[in-house]
């Protein structure tokens, strides 16, 4: 008997459909020599800190500094609990079913049928590890690129030994341990230090940081004005726009005018007209992020909404596995693609098989091929409007890529010479035969040029036109996704690469691990940032929220470095685990060392004079009313504020943290020690001073 453990009930049902008639039992299905049971996604989660480092009794169940940092040498899992931290009866019952089936004497083979990714791999592995079946059973892996019955049946006949997926599992476990080390330790530390819950994670912080930096650049942008040299004169009844590459400061108005006079005197002549027919290539098949980019840009669909729909279409068998970072197909899939083309052709679409490196390229596939429709075509009325929108986007791109009708365009390039001063080039494109463009959303509009011939004189009337530099643009779903795929590439290069055939740099970054997050995790992390009110999404534009500003600025004050460089370094380490070049333990040690560095800074000597204590720490008696002064979120403030006492000392003054020891001196002796490193907000210069009490307020004291 073969036991198949699926990641979730919907997958179990689809596997059963591929097997044939199966009887329903309590928590599993049985028939045709198979048992099919399921998890509910993660049945197991990593134990919390208290399982390794118990908190002291005085913590009374609350987070505390005494058991931080927690850097386990061996990580332990437990059955997932509910939001109230109590055992989940449904989880416990289902795992009991899995364990009992693993121990059935007639079961000789156990099959991991987690989703075809690293997370699905470890979800089922953890179930089997904790079920601890007898050692004489075989272990197989069911790898499903889609969930159609035919694919399930073919995959069941070609299962590989689970050992072949060991590196994938190792990467999954390493990622889980590393994210726990960062997230649990640093979230507790930052929250205890600052008061409000701050979600500090390996990927969420650099994502919020990118949006913060961009919005800050927009906010602080000071536009500068300049003169552009432009002519819009008509020739043969058509306007010919010529924009010079020369620019002049507003203070150089005389130079700008002289340039225009000089250009206008010389006049302009058409020195060349080139026209050529060109076959335009369709867009590439979709990776998950490229599909989300288009859906966000065109239909203002959030990443979480689009992923939910795409995942649902996959589970219904209409689309292939969604969490893919590739826009290419594997060469081993050619026969499968021929069958899909046959189905699509039967619907009247002019498609044909194309054996091209631009479509099939194993070197640009890590685990999963591009998103495509399956041979299972939905019937009219089977999909909701939003499902149909997403499905048809993928379907039409597939038709465009394999379309038998070429898209023919006529490209025109006109060069116009203004004396010996400057050459202008005008480029246009007119679509002669639409071909695949009839089916794909990404249609290209005609760009018409004036009817000019070589040797024609072109009327010019150059004038200095006042222009203003533009601020950076807010991140959109598309531009943020492009940034996260390779955060070290210039945004213009990312945009240019969308339209170029050579995407080698993009795939090098993906395969090397430079990206922030993965196709499988990125959507959920961005959604968590939205739910945490760090960022907002309006239509398809991301902006920073006050909570996000507070997160980033607070981490800077705590000297917690969680940026794209550190996250990418860890991403590269995880890829090395996947390739078998590094052990799980070695990659986890890297993260543990970085977490340890944060806590080493926490224990700096007091003479460093930057220790601000913990949120809620008592500091001393208020000089105004005698009640207790307490360390708060933004200041040391009097608890008598409800009775009208307004005494407080800001945590940060002129860019300098005010230590808890100095505030104690201020309250007991009326004066702090000399504090070095204040920065004047007006001049930007550094200065040293003490703080003293004056009329119940903390003011600078420059006396020695």
d(CA 395, CA 372): 7
Prediction pTM value: 0.84
pLDDT tens, residue by residue, 123-148: 999 999 999 999 999 999 999 999 99
pLDDT of residue 491: 59
Average pLDDT score over residue span 360-366: 92
Decide if pLDDT at 500 tops 60: no
pLDDT tens, residue by residue, 98-115: 999 999 999 999 999 999
pLDDT of residue 606: 38
At residue 394's C-alpha, the angle toward residues 39 and 298, to 5°, is 110
pLDDT tens, residue by residue, 40-80: 999 999 999 999 999 999 888 889 999 999 999 999 999 99
d(CA 10, CA 8): 6
pLDDT tens, residue by residue, 157-206: 999 999 999 999 999 999 999 999 999 999 999 988 887 788 899 999 99
Is residue 195 within 8 Å of residue 427, measured between CB atoms?
no
pLDDT of residue 662: 92
At residue 440's C-alpha, the angle toward residues 438 and 444, to 5°, is 75
Is residue 420 within 8 Å of residue 234, measured between CB atoms?
no
Residues 6+ apart with CB under 8 A from 249: 226, 227
- Band of residue 557 on the pLDDT scale cut at 50, 70, 90: confident
Decide if pLDDT at 337 tops 70: yes
Decide if pLDDT at 225 tops 70: yes
pLDDT of residue 492: 53
Q: What is the maximal distance between C-alpha atoms in the chain?
A: 97
Q: What share of the chain is helix, strand, coil (3-state, %, to 5)?
A: 40, 20, 40
Q: What distance lies between CA 653 and its chain's CA centroid? A: 35
Average pLDDT score over residue span 413-436: 94
Q: Please tell me whether residue 691 adopts helix, strand or coil conformation.
A: strand
Decide if pLDDT at 496 tops 80: no
488-497, 538-547, 563-572, 653-662: least confident range? 488-497
Q: How far, in Å, are 277, 283, 440, 694 from residue 373 at the CA level?
A: 32, 16, 14, 74
Peptide bond into 168 cis (omega under 30): no
Average pLDDT score over residue span 683-695: 89
Decide if pLDDT at 482 tops 80: yes
Q: How much of the chain, in percent, has pLDDT values that exceed 90?
A: 77
Structure tokens at 659: 């230590």
Closest CA to 498 of 367, 277, 327, 299: 327
Decide if pLDDT at 512 tops 50: yes
pLDDT of residue 326: 94
Q: How far, in Å, are 52, 92, 527, 543 from residue 532 at the CA level?
A: 28, 30, 9, 14
Q: What distance lies between CA 44 and its chain's CA centroid? A: 25
């Amino acid at each position: 008997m073969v036991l198949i453990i699926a990641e979730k009930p919907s997958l179990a049902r689809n596997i059963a459909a591929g097997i044939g008639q199966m009887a329903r039992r309590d928590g599993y299905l049985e028939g045709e020599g198979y048992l099919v049971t399921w998890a509910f996604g993660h049945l197991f989660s990593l134990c919390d800190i208290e399982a390794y480092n118990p908190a002291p009794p005085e913590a009374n169940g609350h987070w505390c500094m005494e058991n931080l940092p927690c850097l386990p040498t061996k990580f332990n899992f437990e059955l997932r609990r509910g939001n109230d931290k109590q055992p989940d009866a449904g989880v416990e019952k289902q795992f009991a079913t899995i364990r009992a089936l693993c121990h059935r004497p007639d079961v000789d083979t156990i099959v991991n049928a987690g989703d075809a990714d690293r997370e699905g791999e470890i979800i089922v592995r953890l179930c089997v590890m904790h079920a601890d079946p007898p050692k004489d059973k075989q272990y197989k892996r069911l790898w499903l690129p889609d969930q159609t019955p035919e694919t399930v049946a073919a995959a069941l006949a070609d299962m590989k030994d689970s050992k072949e997926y060991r590196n994938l599992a190792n990467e999954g476990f390493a990622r889980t341990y590393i994210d726990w080390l960062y997230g649990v330790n640093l979230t507790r530390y930052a929250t205890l230090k600052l008061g409000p819950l701050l979600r500090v994670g390996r990927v969420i912080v650099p994502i919020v940081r990118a949006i913060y930096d961009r919005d800050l650049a927009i906010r602080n942008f000071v536009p500068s004005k300049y003169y552009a040299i432009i002519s819009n004169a008509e020739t043969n009844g058509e306007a010919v726009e010529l924009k010079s590459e020369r620019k002049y400061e507003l203070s150089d108005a005389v130079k700008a005018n002289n340039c225009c006079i000089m250009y206008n005197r010389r006049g302009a002549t058409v020195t060349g007209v080139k026209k050529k027919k060109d076959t335009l290539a369709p867009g590439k098949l979709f990776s998950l992020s490229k599909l989300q980019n288009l859906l966000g840009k065109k239909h203002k669909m959030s990443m979480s909404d689009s992923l939910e729909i795409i995942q649902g279409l996959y589970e219904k068998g209409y689309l292939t596995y969604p969490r893919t970072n590739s826009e290419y197909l594997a060469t081993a899939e050619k026969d499968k693609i021929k069958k899909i083309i046959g189905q699509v052709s039967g619907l009247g679409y002019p498609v044909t098989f194309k054996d091209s490196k631009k479509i099939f390229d194993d070197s640009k596939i890590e685990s999963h091929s591009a998103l495509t429709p399956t041979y299972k075509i939905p019937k009219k009325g089977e999909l909701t409007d939003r499902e149909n929108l997403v499905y048809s986007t993928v379907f039409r791109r597939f038709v465009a890529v394999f379309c038998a009708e070429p898209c023919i365009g006529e490209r025109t390039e006109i060069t116009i010479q203004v004396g010996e001063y400057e050459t202008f080039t005008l480029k246009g494109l007119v679509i002669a035969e639409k071909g695949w463009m009839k089916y794909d959303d990404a249609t290209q509009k005609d760009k018409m040029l004036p009817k000019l011939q070589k040797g024609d004189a072109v009327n010019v009337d150059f004038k200095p036109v006042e222009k203003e530099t533009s601020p950076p643009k807010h991140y959109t779903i598309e531009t943020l996704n492009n940034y996260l795929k390779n955060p070290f590439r210039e945004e213009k290069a990312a945009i240019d690469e969308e339209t170029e055939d050579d995407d080698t740099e993009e795939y090098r970054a993906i395969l090397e691990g430079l990206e922030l997050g993965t196709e499988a995790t990125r959507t959920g992390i961005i959604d968590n940032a939205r739910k945490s009110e760090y960022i907002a999404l309006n239509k398809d534009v991301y902006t920073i929220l006050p909570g996000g500003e507070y997160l980033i600025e607070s981490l800077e004050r705590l000297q917690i470095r969680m940026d794209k460089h550190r996250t990418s370094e860890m991403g590269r380490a995880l890829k090395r685990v996947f390739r078998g070049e590094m052990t799980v333990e070695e990659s986890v040690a890297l993260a543990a060392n970085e977490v340890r560095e944060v806590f080493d800074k926490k224990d700096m000597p007091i003479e460093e004079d930057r220790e601000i204590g913990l949120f809620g720490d008592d500091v001393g008696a208020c000089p105004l009313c005698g009640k207790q002064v307490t360390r708060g979120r933004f200041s040391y403030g009097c608890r008598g504020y409800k009775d009208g006492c307004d005494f407080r000392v800001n945590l940060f003054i002129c860019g300098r943290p005010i230590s808890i020891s100095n505030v104690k001196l201020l309250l007991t002796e009326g004066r702090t020690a000399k504090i070095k490193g204040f920065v004047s907000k007006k001049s930007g210069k550094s200065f040293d001073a003490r703080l003293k009490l004056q009329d119940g307020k903390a003011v600078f004291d420059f006396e020695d």
